Amino acid sequence: MCGRFALGINHDEYEARIERDYGRRFARWEGRDEFRPSYNVSPTSRAPVIRAAPAHVDESAPAAEFVQTMRWGVIPHWQKEMPAPGQTMHTINARCEAVEEGSSGLWNSLRGSKRCVIACEGFYEWLAKGKEKLPYFTKRKDGRMFLFAGLWDVVNFPGEPPLHTFTILTTNAAPSLTFLHTRMPVVLPTWEVADAWLDCRKGWTKEVRGLMKSWEGEVESYAVTKEVSKPGPSSPTFIQPISQRKDGIASFFAKQAVSKPAKFDTVSPSKPTTSTAATGPSSFKSAIAASEPETSSPPASSSQKRRAEVIDLDEEEDGDGADDRAGDAKGTKAKAPPAKKAKPTPTKAPEKGGGKGGGSKKDKGKITGFFKKAEA
């Protein structure tokens, strides 16, 4: 299926991109002011749709095509009341198999005379990983806008202006996208194909049915922020790879590397220094500046935490540090291991006639006399 797509360019850029990518310009745009650019176009939003004017009498003349802003999610022309706000819409997509087989009365009534093209920058799909769903953005590798095949309808509610609505056709996913989902939008690869889809003068033909097939071109598909999962918010960062965003995983590791203190080699005073390019004042200041961490962003609110990035990095606190703090709080101290008992050193027995000092009074007198003579 296709539940979100990106069209964040303004009105003039939209027309310029169509002309640049497909060489097409349109004479008019009905409901131009009703379109609000968004990188998160969701069901019930209004977006520009390319359609053909009512069938001409002369089938040899080219069909007149123009742009009209419509509401995403077909409301059948027989509907009597406007769907309630928040009511689930099951008509944002139409399976091409059901359109081709004619098994749906609604699609049967539209496929022959109300075909349209939806141009966008790319679409979102969610990759299921266990209980988690990770958003991915897919775009054409050649940089062109996608052209999706669609159907449209118009309903008239009492006292209200006509309401034009559209749906996007889906088909089997291209082999390169099966890891994401089994379905994807029907892509019209060139304007010649899109022109054939828009031309409703011959109704529903075999040639038109053959246009609904899986995409065979090259695409780029990558993980993006979970913020796109909530309808409403819009930002150019929604279509940036999560690894390249300023608040993404690459930035996280870059900040970690910068925040580590610089290591300075110690130089022995006995050895002369060589290659002193890093020892000058300016180089030292540069090293200090490089070791300083960048300014961190303010803490995220609870709502922002719920809109976390694709890759969450959980930092666990060291258990040893927690134990140390607990010990300090209780005032406990580590016990030192018991000291070994020193062995008594044997002492020599005093000589005969010796006193407490280990010698006789006669010997002490001789020594004292010697120092007195030296002083004299």
- Alpha-carbon distance of 121 to 5, in angstroms, equals 8
Which range has the worst mean pLDDT, 98-112, 157-171, 196-210, 300-314? 300-314
Return the structure tokens found at 108.
């049967």
Residue 327 pLDDT > 50: no
User: 110-130, pLDDT tens digit by residue?
Assistant: 999 999 999 999 999 999 888
Neighbour tally for 184: CB within 10 Å: 23
Query: Do β-strands 65-72 and 122-129 pair in parallel, antiparallel, or remain unpaired?
Result: unpaired
Residue 303 pLDDT > 80: no
Residue 249 pLDDT > 90: no
Residue 186 pLDDT > 90: yes
Residue 277 pLDDT > 50: no
Residue 332 pLDDT > 80: no
> Minimal CA–CA distance to 149: which of 90, 94, 201, 77?
94
User: 334-361, pLDDT tens digit by residue?
Assistant: 444 455 555 555 554 444 444 444 454 4
Confidence of residue 329 (pLDDT cuts 50, 70, 90): very low
Lookup result for tokens 């993980």? 223
Return the structure tokens found at 150.
């669609």
What would the mean pLDDT of 247-255 be, rounded to a whole number?
Answer: 50
What lies within 8 Å, CB to CB, of 15 at 6+ separation is 25, 26, 29, 67
Computed over every residue of the chain, the mean pLDDT equals 75
Contact 171, 183 (CB under 8 A): yes
Residue 27 pLDDT > 80: yes
Most confident of 54-63, 160-169, 331-340, 357-366: 160-169
User: 95-110, pLDDT tens digit by residue?
Assistant: 999 999 988 899 999 9
Burial 138-148 (b: 16+ CB within 10 A, else e): bbbeeebbbbb
Give the three-class secondary structure for 226. Answer: helix
The pLDDT of residue 81 is 87
The pLDDT of residue 259 is 47
For residues 177 and 360, the model is more confident at 177
The pLDDT of residue 83 is 84
User: 280-296, pLDDT tens digit by residue?
Assistant: 444 334 433 333 333 33
For residues 227 and 59, the model is more confident at 227
The pLDDT of residue 241 is 95
The pLDDT of residue 166 is 98
Residue 30 pLDDT > 90: yes
- Alpha-carbon distance of 108 to 270, in angstroms, equals 93
The pLDDT of residue 66 is 95
Which range has the worst mean pLDDT, 92-101, 230-239, 308-317? 308-317
